[in-house]
Amino acid sequence: MTIGENIKRIRERNNLTQKQLAYLSHISEGMIKQYETNVRTPKQDKVNQIAAALDVNPEVLDVPKNVVGEDMHALFRVFRNKNGKFDTAGNPQFNLPDIALWFDEWKKYQDTIASADLLSDKTERDALIAQAEDRFNYWMDIYPRSASLNHSFDDLYEEHRRKIEKPSRK
């Protein structure tokens, strides 16, 4: 995903218009449109403003430069920096305590998907899957704040969902 796609994805997840994001980030609506359509790439100070307005970490919006092997080298750096070792079966073992939090959230996501597969109503199943994906993405988007919350992340996520729900029209 591009930085523009990430801005748009999170803006839409938060039920914000481009105009609202412009107001919250103190950046013109025209610039937000240009960022989202990849006509322009925001400089770091603008990325920080947009991230603050979207209530996510700036790193969530940024993307690798697509240099050949960059993802693998990022993994190598983590392995080396976190004193990675190999177990007797040759599997990498990372000295990275927070990875357990990611796996916990991943398991919750997988469990919800499995329970959705048991539903016979396609609309209910699709809604449950969409909510599971949203919850997992939200957890990653606000990391490390989400990791420091542990058990209260569910409360934070519910508050997030209430904020973005569109009020029903009568």
| Interval 61-74: pLDDT, tens | 987 665 666 777 87
Look at residue 45 and tell me if it is in a domain: yes
Residues 84 and 103 occupy one common structural domain: no
Residues 117 and 86 occupy one common structural domain: no
**Torsion 49-52-53-59 (CA) sign:** positive
Give residue 89's domain range: 68-95
Residues 105 and 84 occupy one common structural domain: no
Tens digit of each residue's pLDDT (9 = 90 or more) over 91-141: 777 777 677 778 888 899 999 999 999 999 999 999 999 999 988 988 888
For residue 168, the model assigns a pLDDT of: 45
The domain that contains 41 carries what CATH number? 1.10.260.40
Look at residue 169 and tell me if it is in a domain: no
| Whether the predicted pLDDT of 33 surpasses 60 | yes
Confidence (pTM): 0.69
Indicate the number of domains in the chain: 3
Residues 23 and 53 occupy one common structural domain: yes
Look at residue 170 and tell me if it is in a domain: no
Instruction: Report the alpha-carbon distance of residue 96 to residue 84 in Å, rounded.
Output: 9
Residues 53 and 72 occupy one common structural domain: no
Question: Which of 82, 85, 77 minimizes the C-alpha distance to 95?
Answer: 82
